[in-house]
């Protein structure tokens, strides 16, 4: 059976799409390959340039990392606490805010929605000085509270969740639950959150990664070595003097810091696809 021109065109576009996706995947993954290869090499080998084959210094670099002047293992625990709690609070309260704007009709509803979106236009660096002065006056230096609780106010996360909620959450479903006698918190926790699971999973990943890699604010607030997060400790490793500087240990620390992010993605990524089947009554 002869192929028509339209069939050939569709197959041609599909081949081009696959080629582009393969190239993009290669460009994304090749840097991870370089990172893990460099993590297995010594400082002297790294000084001679890159080679595509791994070396045999991975265990030595790992032991040096654990026994370095910076508490790397404690830094990873600190980063897990900050990033995990930030992702949990951010997604939960952003979903609650989106539900309030979506389900309730009050006087300043449109103004509140516009105001929240306007906050997205303010860069973090612009408010950093005033934020640090406020934290200092509240005596919260060397405290995780300024790193965790401000994450609740996340306009970008709210906007994404609000857009997703408009497409999956029918108000008739909420009204039916109210008629059955369900309270507002029960409706939100038992009905709205399960419907929003795919969007919440996506934003939890983004929020976790953003707070895990955050260096700017933690470097200004955390002064105690035992409370510093992993990005701050990695920066201190890179800033060590010439005699103590070991690029192999730096690469091993960076590679070590990536594993929690990969684990979080693997745990939540199934909800991105699997949760799509969850839906409400369409209007």
Which pLDDT tens digit goes with each residue over 118-155? 888 887 778 888 888 999 999 989 999 999 998 888 88
Residues 227, 228, 233, 239, CA torsion sign: negative
Residue 110 falls within a domain, yes or no?
yes
Task: Identify which of 56-70, 79-93, 119-133, 170-184 has the greatest average pLDDT.
Answer: 79-93
63-66 long-range contacts (CB < 8 A, ≥24 apart) are: 64/246, 64/248, 64/249, 64/252, 65/249, 65/252, 65/253, 65/256
24 and 83 share a domain?
no
Specify the pLDDT at position 239. Answer: 64
Is 102:182 a contact under the CB 8 Å cutoff? Answer: no
Residues 208, 212, 213, 219, CA torsion sign: positive
205 and 230 share a domain?
yes
Residue 282 falls within a domain, yes or no?
no
Residue 79 falls within a domain, yes or no?
yes
Specify the pLDDT at position 67. Answer: 80
Residue 283 falls within a domain, yes or no?
no
CA of 111: how far to CAs of 107, 108, 116, 161, 171, in Å? 9, 5, 9, 18, 21
180 and 150 share a domain?
yes
211 and 226 share a domain?
yes
- At residue 247 the predicted structure's pLDDT band, cuts being 50, 70 and 90, is confident
Domain tally, the chain:
2
Q: Regarding predicted confidence, which is higher, 188 or 273?
A: 188
44 and 181 share a domain?
no
Instruction: Among 21, 36, 57, identify where a domain stops.
Output: 57
- Total count of residues recorded for the chain: 283
Is 148:93 a contact under the CB 8 Å cutoff? Answer: no
Q: Which of 65-69, 133-137, 214-218, 226-230 has the lowest mean pLDDT?
A: 65-69
164 and 178 share a domain?
yes
194 and 256 share a domain?
yes
Q: Which of 9-13, 192-196, 222-226 has the lowest mean pLDDT?
A: 9-13
Residue 53's domain spans which residues? 5-57
45 and 175 share a domain?
no
Q: At what angle do helices 197-212 and 155-168 cross, to 10 degrees?
A: 170
Whether residue 276 has pLDDT greater than 60: no
Share of the chain above pLDDT 70, in %: 90
Whether residue 21 has pLDDT greater than 50: yes
93 and 49 share a domain?
no
Domain of 108, CATH number, reads 1.10.3720.10
- At residue 117 the predicted structure's pLDDT band, cuts being 50, 70 and 90, is confident
């Amino acid at each position: 059976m002869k192929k028509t021109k339209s069939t050939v065109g569709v197959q041609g576009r599909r081949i081009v799409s696959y080629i582009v996706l393969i190239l993009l995947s290669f460009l994304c993954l090749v840097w991870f390959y370089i990172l893990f290869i460099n993590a297995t090499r010594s400082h002297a080998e790294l000084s001679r340039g890159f080679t595509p084959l791994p070396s045999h210094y991975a265990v030595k670099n790992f032991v040096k990392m654990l026994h370095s002047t910076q508490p790397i293992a404690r830094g990873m625990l600190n980063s897990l606490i900050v990033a995990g709690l930030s992702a949990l609070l951010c997604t939960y309260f952003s979903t609650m805010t989106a539900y309030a704007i979506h389900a309730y009709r009050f006087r300043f509803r449109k103004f509140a929605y516009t105001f929240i979106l306007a906050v997205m236009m303010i860069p973090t660096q612009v408010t950093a000085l005033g934020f640090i002065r406020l934290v200092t006056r509240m005596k919260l230096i060397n405290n995780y509270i300024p790193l965790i609780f401000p994450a609740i106010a996340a306009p970008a996360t709210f906007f994404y969740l609000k857009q997703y909620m408009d497409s999956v959450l029918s108000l008739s479903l909420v009204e039916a639950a109210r008629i059955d006698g369900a309270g507002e918190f029960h409706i939100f926790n038992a009905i709205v959150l399960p419907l929003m699971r795919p969007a919440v999973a996506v934003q939890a990943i983004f929020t976790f990664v953003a707070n895990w890699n955050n260096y700017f604010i933690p470097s200004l607030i955390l002064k105690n070595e035992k409370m510093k997060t992993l990005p701050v400790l990695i920066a201190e490793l890179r800033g060590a003097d010439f005699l103590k500087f070991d690029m192999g240990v730096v690469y091993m620390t960076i590679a070590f810091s990536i594993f929690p992010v990969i684990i979080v993605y693997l745990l939540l990524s199934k909800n991105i696809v699997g949760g799509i089947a969850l839906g409400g009554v369409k209007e």
